[in-house]
Amino acid sequence: MASQQSVLMDLSQTLRETSGTTVVDAQASGVQLSGSDAWSVSRRMLHEGPSDGVEVVNLCNGPLTVSILPTRGMGLWKAEYRDIPIGWNSPNRFPVHPRHVNLQSRNGLGWLDGFNELLCRCGLAFNGPPGLDEGAASPIESEVTLHGRIANTAAHHVSASVDDAGAGTISVRGEVDETTLFGPKLRLVSTVSSVAGSNAFTIVDEVTNMGAAEAELQLLYHTNVGRPFLEGDARILCPVREVCPRDARAAEGVDEIERYLPPTSGYAEQAYFFDLLADEQGESLVLLHNAAGDRGLSVHFDRQQLPCFTLWKCTQSEEDGYVTGLEPGTNFPNFKADERRLGRVRQIGPGETYRTTLRIEVHGSADSVSEVADRIRDLQSATEARVHREPTGPFCP
Amino acid sequence: MASQQSVLMDLSQTLRETSGTTVVDAQASGVQLSGSDAWSVSRRMLHEGPSDGVEVVNLCNGPLTVSILPTRGMGLWKAEYRDIPIGWNSPNRFPVHPRHVNLQSRNGLGWLDGFNELLCRCGLAFNGPPGLDEGAASPIESEVTLHGRIANTAAHHVSASVDDAGAGTISVRGEVDETTLFGPKLRLVSTVSSVAGSNAFTIVDEVTNMGAAEAELQLLYHTNVGRPFLEGDARILCPVREVCPRDARAAEGVDEIERYLPPTSGYAEQAYFFDLLADEQGESLVLLHNAAGDRGLSVHFDRQQLPCFTLWKCTQSEEDGYVTGLEPGTNFPNFKADERRLGRVRQIGPGETYRTTLRIEVHGSADSVSEVADRIRDLQSATEARVHREPTGPFCP
Amino acid sequence: MASQQSVLMDLSQTLRETSGTTVVDAQASGVQLSGSDAWSVSRRMLHEGPSDGVEVVNLCNGPLTVSILPTRGMGLWKAEYRDIPIGWNSPNRFPVHPRHVNLQSRNGLGWLDGFNELLCRCGLAFNGPPGLDEGAASPIESEVTLHGRIANTAAHHVSASVDDAGAGTISVRGEVDETTLFGPKLRLVSTVSSVAGSNAFTIVDEVTNMGAAEAELQLLYHTNVGRPFLEGDARILCPVREVCPRDARAAEGVDEIERYLPPTSGYAEQAYFFDLLADEQGESLVLLHNAAGDRGLSVHFDRQQLPCFTLWKCTQSEEDGYVTGLEPGTNFPNFKADERRLGRVRQIGPGETYRTTLRIEVHGSADSVSEVADRIRDLQSATEARVHREPTGPFCP
């Protein structure tokens, strides 16, 4: 039978009329996927406290469910694979509606008040720490707040589709506009998809400059993972060309980058900037796995699209948020003015689109973990990692 | 038959219970208007992205439909007259819920993030550019952000009514409070009305000082128009006593005020301050028409109520927002402290009401355009326009 | 019959699905309370203007109804006892959804834009005037805005219950999180309860430090009362150990603290800081009553839990908000850095809970008023009040 792409439904049309939960599955849609007969896409609204009005779209491929938050810029709240939870426990217990996040507050660090996702984007016009960007085109663009606006901007035109080619693929798509008069006019079109029955999902993002002049772009994928992947003696494996500590605090841990501490009261965050190796197709990847090596999560991306990888270690107490961030980006999360000077702020022309692809795989067995670990070791085999012991340019300003 | 005013329905009571669209028309209400049998008032909520929760009330008089946004301070999103769209294409594609507009952000220019209407008010306690108003009564009032709060304040007590006198009139009314403890206590009661079958609608606004002390008022009608009225060689006609460029950039165009450029990449905005002539009834008017002179839009207002007219030319690329603003106001949009010094900030006493009337007519034929153009030329005939070539007081600070 | 505690319903589950009003009463629940057969708990959403999306839960014990605002941090909008309204008329006419309150705006005084309750909490990480707290742990905590965040944070897990022991008690409970990554992690669990048929209600608050490090706590109950309790010649009775005017303006009225003015145009607020006496059980109380002495409202609290009592006199014009505040707190509402220096910022350890109890009684007859007044005079009888005529430490910074 020939492959057939059938649009199941436009969630934004069919599902938004109701405040309850709506589920589309194989039965409801009449579409069987050979990879799994238990796929579904569902939509519901949260109504509790600061989550009131937050839309959640669950993409389930059978064994794997990904919870997408259109209201929070198409971020991924959490996922679950065969009873393995994927995400972390933020002190912000629930998804926070953007209306309750004042990016300016807390001296420009208000973004932290809404931060609790497995994956959120930092961008699009800027990311990194807050401050006054004196190189900005105008006062409309010079006020930089932590990690930008996109994670707190609601998506429109949210839709779902299935393609029954091969094992079958389920997709959810949404558009997020970061626009203003006399300022940036960037549109993110994000598609989260997953092959039925698989252990992985893919994010394809297209950021288009809708304006008539060149625009700046910064885009970083803040991918945040806690237990059961992160624990004492958990490991992060990366194919490293070069790595550099962000600051003096990170420099303290430069001999132990690969290894994680258990929850540690009073631990202060450490961040490392990586230049990673890629395979012949240009794909780079990193792997986080638990101490026993039988639970792992790998992040795969195109090194050309996302040349800067940041590792964030935040192994503080469970109550405060025990987490690590695996963060591929167009840039390192230094202050925008510094990144511009170092050539890491992208320029995209009028009508131009910047495309990124990110794939996350979940590994539920020692074999699956070993396979990815071996692939990373193979990539590393021909190259000796260069490890800077102190903050160094061009990684650091 | 004697004229009879019948309140059709209180939208705020009857229509708010549902999240779908509700329509009241001649059939549903049993009220026939002699001007048109195709009138209606409808209400719906938007649910997409940053528009989620925005209420739209459509007032249709037959050939003309005006879309009112109670959620955005009774602003007018757009209108349509016999298939002629009235409004513009802002880079902010959809009406933005005020909760997504942080007026403080972008160095006090956050108002731009929600700006996409055909008509929005700038005020009530202040309008013009942001800054610290050192003449303010207290810290509660001294923080001035671009164009004030009213366009991002939600209306309450929204209702609709019809009056079958004459051709019949359809009205939508709402109240918007700009109040705080120890600060301004201003209530706007806005009524948008239209005669059945006509090519025009009228806004009657009453701003009342609800407090026990004198209050300051600034009110400007940011009326924004794009195609098909605005285009290369489109014209703006005004009965001019005096006109003055706002700044050096505007001074560059002082010989070409009347004429518009086509969309022009890199065009920087130009603004002109006018002292307009009025007819014997005190009405002043301006006319924007297309190059062929067969599509026009005229704005009519009482020169006593709205003595300051600002013309905003913003003929940048279509993608960036090709638009012109026809802006009658109580003041020019200079910084509030300057306007106060120049005597253009209104004082309204306790319980006092400031009333304004604004009428917008759509002209769909060369005859209709000519008729208004002739009226403006008549007004001008007795007076030679005084054109300042440079920014000059008392127009400019 | 043995006492039986029966959970009536979880409002957050059962009632949130609908946008209309839901009522649970003796009939609907099958629970009779001996104190009154006319008890109920109801829930509805407001849809008007800036109130859109605000949830109101009415707890009715028969003669007394308390309106709770989960959306506004479990604040109390107003109450009513046998046709006596309890609350005040703020220039902010309706409950304001937190999304419309920008705490940073108005130079950090934006909290005033949402202030109209009978009772709202000031806290939890800070209260008092805005400013930069240089003693804060980090930039995440140093930006202090007027009276903190809790009154503009939405509650989750809102539920209701009844206990038929004795006359029977009706309760409404909600949780409010004031948390962020790298900052305070405080959870308020508030329970408002009332004995069926009684003239009183009680608030029991438990604030728990959910984080792994010590946290600071400031908590003040801004209890605001207008007519018919407040009027010209109304009185405030307190058992006073010491009292001190906040500033020079308050010092002007130090001989007249007990007595209230009628609405007075141009009146500037006066505040007094009290060290109150308590009875043998540690309870302190204050009484506001009208000129005739036949309408009174008393506030009862544990002096150990809430050692600082602030009296706020704001007898300005009715239109501007004629009101007095009876404000028990852990601290006086001075700037946080000053309160810290003076030892009045609480430290709560990881997992620790700070508990407060506040009871409000309504007195609808001269007898009931006299009884409480006598109790206060008894408390005072053994101690002469020390009245500072000028701002003095440690009350003032």
Pair A71, A121: CB distance under 8 Å:
no
Do residues C123 and C150 touch, judged by C-beta distance below 8 A? yes
- pLDDT tops 80 at residue C388: yes
Phi, then psi, of B291 in degrees rounded to 5? -60, -40
Least CA distance to B101: which residue of chain A?
Answer: A99
Residue A105 to residue C183, Cβ atoms within 8 A: no
Q: Select from A139, A138, A152 the least CA-distant residue to A103.
A: A152
Q: How far is C178 from chain A (nearest CA, A)?
A: 9
> Does A373 map to a domain?
yes
Does the beta-carbon distance from C109 to B210 stay under 8 Å?
A: no
Q: List C-alpha distances in Å: B46 to A70, B67, B94, B95.
A: 15, 13, 9, 9
Q: Does B14 touch chain C (CB under 8 A)?
A: no
What's the confidence (pLDDT) of residue A65? 98
Give B2's contacts (C-beta < 8 A, 6+ positions apart): none
Mind listing the pLDDT tens digit for each residue in C86-124?
999 999 999 999 999 999 999 999 999 999 999 999 999
A12 touches chain B (CB under 8 A): yes
Residue in chain B closest to C44 (alpha carbons) equals B17
Cα gap B141→C109, rounded to integer Å: 10
Instruction: For residue B93, give the nearest of B50, B45, B150 by alpha carbon.
Output: B50
Domain count across chain A: 1
- A22 — contact with chain C (CB < 8 Å)? no
Q: Average pLDDT in the B380-388 region?
A: 96
Is the torsion defined by CA of A374, A375, A379, A380 positive or negative?
A: negative
Angle at A321 (CA atoms; ends A316, A325), nearest 5 degrees: 85
Q: What is the ipTM of this complex?
A: 0.94
Task: Spell out, as residue ranges, where chain A has pLDDT lower than 70.
Answer: 1-20
Helices of type H across chain A: 11-14, 26-29, 105-108, 139-142, 248-251, 318-321, 336-341, 366-381
Best A12, A179, A210, A214 residue to mutate vs chain B (most B CBs within 10 Å): A179
Selecting from C53, C176, C211 the residue whose C-beta is nearest the C-beta of A91 gives C211
Min distance A247 CA to chain B CA atoms (Å): 29
Q: Using an 8 Å CB-CB cutoff, list chain A residues near C210.
A: 91, 319
- Residue B86 within any structural domain of the chain: yes
Scored b (16 or more CB within 10 A) or e, A174-191 reads: bbbbbbbbbbbbbbbbbb
Sign, CA torsion C381/C384/C388/C392: negative
Beta bridge partners of B356: B205
In the structure, what pLDDT confidence band is assigned to residue C12 with cuts at 50, 70 and 90? very low
Chain C touching partners, 3 or more CB pairs below 8 A: A, B
Contacts of B70 in chain C (CB under 8 A): 49
Which positions in chain C touch B71 (Cβ < 8 Å)?
A: 52
- Spatial separation of the C-alpha atoms in residues B148 and B145, rounded to whole Å: 6
Q: With an 8 Å Cβ cutoff, are A102 and C103 in contact?
A: yes
Cα(C216)–Cα(A312) distance, integer angstroms:
28
Of B99, B104, B140, the CB nearest to C100: B99
Which DSSP state fits A358? E
Residue C123 in domain? yes
Averaged over C152-181, what is the pLDDT?
A: 94
Residues of A in contact with B317 (CB under 8 A): 211-213
Of B145, B314, B136, B350, the C-alpha closest to B224 is B314
Q: Minimal Cα–Cα distance from B369 to chain C, Å?
A: 39
Token pair in block for residue B280: 């014997």
Instruction: Tell me the chain C residues in contact with residue B178 when contact means C-beta distances shorter than 8 Å.
Output: none
Note the pLDDT of residue A2. 42
Buried b (16+ CB within 10 A) or exposed e, C206-220: ebbbbbbbebbbbbb
CB contact under 8 A, B180 and C316: no
**Which residues on chain B are in Cβ contact (under 8 Å) with C53?**
53
In this model, does residue C3 exceed pLDDT 70?
no
> Angle at CA B42, nearest 5°, toward B40 and B45?
165
Contact present, B226 and B88 (Cβ < 8 Å)? yes
Please tell me the distance from the alpha carbon of residue A78 to that of residue A223, in angstroms, as a whole number: 10
Stated as kind and residue range, the H or E segment containing C245 is strand C240-245
Question: Which is nearest to B39 in space by CA: B168, B165, B158, B191?
Answer: B168
Q: How far is B324 from chain A (nearest CA, A)?
A: 13
pLDDT at C391: 98
* Range name among B166-170, B228-232, B328-332 with the lowest pLDDT average: B166-170
Say if the Cβ atoms of C179 and A47 lie within 8 Å. no
pLDDT attached to residue B22: 82
C-interface mutation test, from B15, B180, B190, B210, most C Cβ less than 10 A away: B180
Chain C residue with the nearest C-alpha to that of A48: C156
Q: Does C50 touch chain B (CB under 8 A)?
A: yes
8 Å CB contact between A94 and A48: yes
pLDDT tens digits along C25-75: 888 777 889 999 999 999 998 988 999 999 999 999 999 999 999 999 999
Using CB atoms, which residue from A17, A181, A213 is nearest to B92? A181
Q: pLDDT category, B27, cuts 50, 70, 90?
A: confident
**Facing B154 at nearest CB: one of C49, C91, C265:** C49
CB atoms closer than 10 angstroms to residue A316: 23
Cβ of C154 within 8 Å of Cβ of A105? The answer is no
Helix and strand numbers (H, E) in chain C are 8, 25
pLDDT attached to residue C18 = 47
Mean pLDDT, chain C, rounded, equals 94
Kindly report, residue by residue over A146-162, the tens digit of the pLDDT. 999 999 999 999 988 88
Structural domain that includes position A331: 20-387
- For tokens 């939208």, the residue is B11
Q: What is the pLDDT of residue B129?
A: 98
Q: Of A251, A287, A297, whose CA–CA distance to A272 is shortest? A: A251
- For chain A, the C-alpha Rg in angstroms (whole number) is 20
Residue C150 inside a domain? The answer is: yes
The answer to whether C53 contacts chain B (CB < 8 Å) is yes
CB contact at 8 A, A65 and A86: no
Question: How many residues are present in chain A?
Answer: 397
Percent of chain B with pLDDT over 70: 95
Least CB–CB distance from A179: residue in B19, B51, B92? B92
- Identify the CATH number of the domain in which residue C267 sits: 2.70.98.10
Touching C: B residues 217-236, CB under 8 Å: none
Condensed to tens digits (0 to 9), the pLDDT of residues B282-326 reads 999 999 999 999 999 999 999 999 999 999 999 999 999 999 999
Q: Which amino acid is at B142?
A: S
With a pLDDT cut of 70, the percent of chain C lying above it is 95
pLDDT band at C2 (very low <50, low <70, confident <90, very high): very low
Interface of C with B in 100-129 (CB under 8 A): 100, 102, 104-109, 112-113, 115
In a domain, B339, yes or no: yes
**A339: three-class secondary structure by DSSP:** helix
Give chains near B: 3+ CB pairs under 8 A: A, C
The rounded distance, in Å, linking the Cα atoms of B356 and C391 is 49
What pLDDT shows up at residue C283?
98
Q: B88 in contact with A at a CB cutoff of 8 Å?
A: no
The percent of residues above 90 in pLDDT, for chain B, comes to 89
Candidates A103, A180, A208, A352, partner chain B, best to mutate (most B CBs within 10 A): A180
For residue C28, give the H/E element and its range. helix C26-29
Nearest chain B Cα distance for residue A278, angstroms: 37
**Could you tell me if residue C246 is inside a domain?**
yes
Q: In A333-381, where does DSSP find H-type helix?
A: 336-341, 366-381
A139 → closest Cβ in B53, B107, B113: B107
User: For B235-269, how does the pLDDT look when each residue is reduced to its tens digit (9 = 90+)?
Assistant: 999 999 999 999 999 999 999 999 999 999 999 99
Residues of chain C neighbouring A45 (CB-CB closer than 8 A): none
Task: For chain A, list the contacting chains (3+ Cβ pairs, <8 Å).
Answer: B, C
Q: Above 90 in pLDDT, residue C24?
A: no
* Domain assignment of residue C107, yes or no: yes
Q: Judge residue C5's burial from the number of C-beta atoms within 10 Å of its C-beta, 0-12 exposed, 13-18 middle, 19 or more buried.
A: exposed
Interchain proximity A92–C180, CB inside 8 Å: yes
Query: DSSP label at B35?
Result: T
Nearest to C351 by CA among C212, C218, C217: C212
Which residue has tokens 């772009």? A217
Would you call C51 an interface residue with chain B, using a CB distance cutoff of 8 Å?
yes
Q: Is A99 on the interface with B (CB under 8 A)?
A: yes
Closest Cβ opposite residue A143 in set B93, B107, B112: B107
Give the chain A residue whose CA is nearest to the CA of B110. Answer: A140
pLDDT at A24: 83
Q: What's the pLDDT score for residue A15?
A: 47
Residues 301-320 on C with a CB inside 8 Å of A are: none
The interface residues of chain B toward chain C in range 328-387, judged by CB-CB distance below 8 A, are: 350
Q: Is residue C3 one of the residues assigned to a domain?
A: no
- CB within 8 Å: A180 and B99: no
The answer to whether residue B16 scores a pLDDT higher than 80 is no
Q: b vs e for B69-92, b when ≥16 Cβ sit within 10 Å of the residue's Cβ?
A: bbbbbbbbbbbbbeebebbbbbbb
- Count how many pairs of residues, chain A against chain C, have C-beta atoms within 8 Å: 96
Closest-CA residue in chain A for C140? A106
Whole-angstrom distance, CA of residue C56 vs CA of residue C78: 11
Q: Per-residue pLDDT tens for C264-314?
A: 999 999 999 999 999 999 999 999 999 999 999 999 999 999 999 999 999
Provide the shortest C-alpha distance from residue B110 to chain A (in Å): 8
- At residue C202 the predicted structure's pLDDT band, cuts being 50, 70 and 90, is very high
